[in-house]
Amino acid sequence: MSTSLSTRPAGSNAAETGSRRGKRHYGTHIFLAVMAVIWLIPLLWTLFTALRPKADTDKYGYFSLQGSFSFDNFVQAWNQGGFSKYFWNSVLITVPSVILTLFLASLMAFAVSRFSWRFNVTLLIMFTAGNLLPPQVLAAPLFEMFKHIQLPYAFSDSGNLLNTYVSVIAVDTAFQIGFCTFVLSNYMKALSPDLTEAALVDGAGVWTQYWSIILPLCRPALAAMATLEVIFIYNDFFWPLLFIQSGDRLPLTTAINNLQGNFLSNYNLIAAGAMITAIPALLIYVALQRHFVAGLTLGSSKG
């Protein structure tokens, strides 16, 4: 795209303007390569530390290449460190939250973008604003609300909504609906009104229009939002920290808060725990990079 610049030597810096493959890019390459190395160092150092047994780092120091490399720390963190449980907790929180968020946001987006009525812009503003608030603003009332909602002990061993996955799922969903509604409504607005007009003439109801016509057309946007939301909710640290007291119910992202205490300065184990927490996000990135980036840019295309 940028190579199609005019080659007319218009000024003293024309050579830079008409930069093409290869030439005049050494400085850029050196800068980018240095930055890329700096960018990779923290993760590579974590991985390096995680792969070495504690005995070896005690003997040779952390800055050494001697000794063996193995996945023992990963196995230990997974089995004894509780990371298998934390991982499962993350799944139990993330999957329902993402499905609920997308379903509810698509309902709302459909109603405000395909039909004109008095309060739709007001509601859309309210939804979008809600997503931008710092979560700490709502922390105290939500905590107290959940504490004072009495539940049978069969449903919750705390007798209220605290310490349950439901509390985290509900608030994660509420927080993310705003952003998804904003993006999906912009997407739906761009679809031609003819699509549903024709269905309306044929006598299709609102639900049919939503489910059979609009939703299938939104598949690219839904895929992008789903990828983005999985990462957002998987990476959520705050709500489980606030609502969940039992350590064994925490999801991965929040459980790492207790790493230092649990693993008592065993940096090799801490590093393995950090890597285990990073791996799901990195795998999603590698597999679904296109959708993730599309989701981010969809969210910012309208400003």
Partner 1 sequence: MSASTSAPATGTGVKTPVPGRRVRRLSGRDKLVLGIMVAVPTLIQLVLIWIPTLLSIGLSFTRWNGLDLSDIKPAGTANYEYVAQDYPPFWPAIQHNVLWLVFLAVIATPLGLLLAVLLDQQIRGSKIYQSVFFTPVMLSLALIGIIWQLFYNRDSGLLNFLLGTAGKPTAVDWFGDASVNIWAALFAATWRHAGYVMILYLAGLKGVDPALKEAAALDGANATQTFFRVVFPAMRPINIVIIVITLIESLRAFDIVYVINRGTNGLELISALVIQNLVGEGQVIGVGSALAVILLVISLVPITWYLSRAFKKGAEE
Stretch that binds partner 1, among 75-83, 84-92, 153-161, 235-243 (CB under 8 A): 235-243
Contacts of partner 1 in 192-211 (CB under 8 A): 192-194, 197, 200, 205-207, 210
| 140 sits near partner 1 (criterion: CB under 8 A) | yes
SS (H, E, C) the chain: CHHHCCCCCCCCCHHHHCCCCCCCCHHHHHHHHHHHHHHHHHHHHHHHHHCCCHHHHHHHCCCCCCCCCCCHHHHHHHHCCCHHHHHHHHHHHHHHHHHHHHHHHHHHHHHHHHCCCCCHHHHHHHHHHHHHCCHHHHHHHHHHHHHHCCCCCCCCCCCCCCCCHHHHHHHHHHHHHHHHHHHHHHHHHCCCCHHHHHHHHCCCCHHHHHHHHHHHHCHHHHHHHHHHHHHHHHCCCHHHHHHCCCHHHCCHHHHHHHHHHHCCCCHHHHHHHHHHHHHHHHHHHHHHHHHHHHHHHHHHCCC
Candidates 93, 102, 226, 242: give the one binding partner 1 (CB under 8 A).
Answer: 242
Contacts of partner 1 in 53-112 (CB under 8 A): 57, 62-63, 104-105, 107-108, 110-112
| 293 sits near partner 1 (criterion: CB under 8 A) | yes
- Spatial contact of 81 and 263, defined as CB atoms under 8 Å apart: yes
| 190 sits near partner 1 (criterion: CB under 8 A) | yes
Decide whether 32 or 55 has the Cβ nearer to partner 1.
32
In the complex, what is the shortest distance from the CB of residue 51 to partner 1, in angstroms, rounded to a whole number?
A: 13
| 244 sits near partner 1 (criterion: CB under 8 A) | no
Decide whether 95 or 149 has the Cβ nearer to partner 1.
149
Candidates 86, 155, 259, 261: give the one binding partner 1 (CB under 8 A).
Answer: 259
| 45 sits near partner 1 (criterion: CB under 8 A) | yes
Contacts of partner 1 in 110-129 (CB under 8 A): 110-112, 115-118, 121, 123-129
Candidates 76, 94, 181, 262: give the one binding partner 1 (CB under 8 A).
Answer: 181
| 158 sits near partner 1 (criterion: CB under 8 A) | no
In the complex, what is the shortest distance from the CB of residue 164 to partner 1, in angstroms, rounded to a whole number?
A: 15
Candidates 90, 162, 267, 269: give the one binding partner 1 (CB under 8 A).
Answer: 267
